[in-house]
Amino acid sequence: MDLFSKLLQTKHFEFSAKCGKKSLTGWNGHGHGTVIVQQNDNIITFKEDGSFKLDSSTKFLSISNEYIWQKINTNRISLSHARFGYSNLVKLFDLIRIDDNLW
């Protein structure tokens, strides 16, 4: 499976957040939205826009994120967050190919 190419098919995101017992934020809730995908050589950018609702609230909050997927080689893809801009990315993790269907 060519995981890097499959990323180009992403159109939507959805997540649930559950903080730990010692969390001071209480950010338990659910989010969803759309993804605009752009590719430039070995880099795929996800621009996410959506909403998040705390379990303890009826109000929806607007959210947006930008993630950068970089194909390092055929067996490694790196994910970063553009929290501080494209010149100061926050690296999140690498995916390493184990076999055709397992990363």
Residue range 71-87, pLDDT digits in tens: 999 999 999 999 999 99
pLDDT value of residue 1: 66
Q: Which runs of E-coded beta strand occur in 1-103?
A: 12-17, 29-40, 43-54, 60-73, 76-81, 90-96
Mean pLDDT of the chain: 95
> Domains of the chain: which residue ranges?
3-96
Which has more pLDDT, 59 or 101? 59
Residue 25: pLDDT band (50, 70, 90) is confident
Give the confidence band of 93 by pLDDT, cuts at 50, 70, 90: very high
Query: Nearest to residue 75, comparing CAs of 96, 91, 93?
Result: 96
pTM exceeds cut of 0.85: yes
Instruction: Determine the Cα–Cα distance for residues 98 and 44; give it in Å rounded to an integer.
Output: 21
- Residue with the larger pLDDT of the pair 94 and 23: 94
Please report the pLDDT score of residue 33 as a whole number.
99
Beta carbons of 78 and 94 less than 8 angstroms apart: yes
Element spanning 3, H or E: helix 3-7
